Amino acid sequence: MRILIITFTGGVNPGTFMQALGVKTAMTRIFPDAEVDYLNFPDFKRGKGIGAKGKHDGLVNLFLQKGFAAYRLLKYKKLRKENFNYTRVVNLFNYSSADEQAIKNYDLVVIGSDTILEKAFGENGRIGLNWMPVDVPKIYFAASASPANFTPSEELSNVASRAKFIGLRDLLTINFFKERLHIDEQRLVRQPDPSYYLDIKSFELGKHLLSKLHPQEKYALYDFNSDFPLRKELADMIRSCGYKVVATAYNPYADICFDTIDAKEWAGVFPHMNIIVTERFHDSVFGLRNCKPVIAIDWDSNRFSADGDSKTLRILQDYGLEKCHFNLAKDHCLDQVEKAIRSVESDFNSSAIAKINEQIYDRANNILTDIKSKLS
């Protein structure tokens, strides 16, 4: 069995690595003897915030930010080499007939997560390989089109309808498939993020990094891109609420920066935090999987739909925590965020979150059984 996975794996985004590893973990559970490859393609997504200068940042901060990002990129490349087997580089939107033929040599193509469906067409108007016009058995595996801000065509509907299994990560994408692609709702399966297939207890923070943390202190994980306009103000406000501010990349406004860690070390940070304050989907996922209170903030209009729907909102809804989601795209007032941070630990029911986690794990594993039956 030869399996080709199409999902983002590049850059220094730990969540991207974790979900890619989760897809492989799940596929090898279904097909233990499978040969699993990842399609190697240039990143068509704009790397917002990476290398950008925040409004309070000086040139020294910008230099350090770029330097630490470059170092972490080397670590990520090593980690990917250890865990993933790649095809040769294929341009998703300017591919050749030879590229199509190479993909036809696989027994199964898996369209993975990390908003891999968010863009369907290249600048030349050509449908992308991420929508797989190639006639080959295919499944969508916790795929997401968030924020689904593009207009689909009839061809996209036809491609999607031929999939053997359609697992979609969020309700935003489910609605897109149902209402815009006109796929029968009965075929659409709500599927947890692939990182739920990973054992979170297997990830640990090294002793040299743990030494930066002290039992008597309270810590807030704080991750925002450098172009977030309130990055300094929000960090200062979190400190005023009694927390030390911890970032998992270089951040001049954090008290502690784990700015040299790779994705597996990143996953080991969460058990040692008291709360999570973030713009990132996978920070929210790993925070909740570790039964930690999460405050999720949207602010970049490129990352939520016209009506404010987003993957961060949807993951909090899964846990009944919608009140912990905020959108600061238009309103930069932090009063409600501060109120939530001051009360989130006392209001948080960790045992209830643990039960929801168990339900999600069960659903994720049952989906693997369903996929296997559909492919047999």
Residue range 193-210: mean pLDDT, rounded? 93
pLDDT at site 376? 81
| pLDDT digits 0-9 by tens, 289-299 | 999 999 999 99
**32 and 7, same structural domain?**
yes
| pLDDT digits 0-9 by tens, 11-45 | 888 999 999 999 999 999 999 999 999 999 987 76
Residue range 90-114: mean pLDDT, rounded? 92
**98 and 33, same structural domain?**
yes
pLDDT band at 231 (very low <50, low <70, confident <90, very high): very high
**Gap between the Cα atoms of 265 and 366, Å rounded:** 29
pLDDT at site 35? 97
**250 and 192, same structural domain?**
no
pLDDT band at 54 (very low <50, low <70, confident <90, very high): low
The answer, yes or no, to whether residue 306 has pLDDT greater than 80, is: no
pLDDT at site 42? 87
Burial class (CB in 10 A: 0-12, 13-18, 19+), 348: middle
The answer, yes or no, to whether residue 124 has pLDDT greater than 80, is: yes
**Gap between the Cα atoms of 165 and 111, Å rounded:** 10
DSSP H/E element including 139: strand 138-143
**294 and 186, same structural domain?**
no
pLDDT at site 66? 77
Cis (ω within 30 of 0) for the bond into 192?
A: no
Residue range 156-182: mean pLDDT, rounded? 92
The answer, yes or no, to whether residue 116 has pLDDT greater than 60, is: yes
| pLDDT digits 0-9 by tens, 241-262 | 999 999 999 999 999 999 999 9
Q: By percentage, how much of the chain surpasses pLDDT 90? A: 70
Maximal C-alpha separation, the chain: 61
**242 and 158, same structural domain?**
no
Q: How many domains does the chain have?
A: 2
Domain of residue 15 covers: 2-197+362-375
pLDDT at site 43? 79
pLDDT at site 48? 46
Q: What is the pTM of this model?
A: 0.90
CATH for 13? 3.40.50
**91 and 34, same structural domain?**
yes
**208 and 178, same structural domain?**
no
The answer, yes or no, to whether residue 315 has pLDDT greater than 60, is: yes
CATH for 250? 3.40.50.2000
Higher confidence at residue 46 or residue 349?
349
**370 and 239, same structural domain?**
no
**250 and 193, same structural domain?**
no
pLDDT at site 47? 52
Burial class (CB in 10 A: 0-12, 13-18, 19+), 125: exposed
**122 and 209, same structural domain?**
no
Helix (H, G, I), strand (E, B) or coil at 178: helix
Q: In this structure, are residues 295 and 321 in contact, taking their beta carbons and an 8 Å threshold? A: no
pLDDT at site 114? 66
Query: Which of 64-73, 160-169, 295-304 shows the lowest mean pLDDT across its residues?
Result: 64-73
pLDDT at site 51? 52
**15 and 120, same structural domain?**
yes
**280 and 152, same structural domain?**
no
pLDDT at site 117? 78
pLDDT at site 331? 84
Residues 6+ apart with CB under 8 A from 357: 288, 289, 291
pLDDT band at 49 (very low <50, low <70, confident <90, very high): very low
The answer, yes or no, to whether residue 88 has pLDDT greater than 50, is: yes
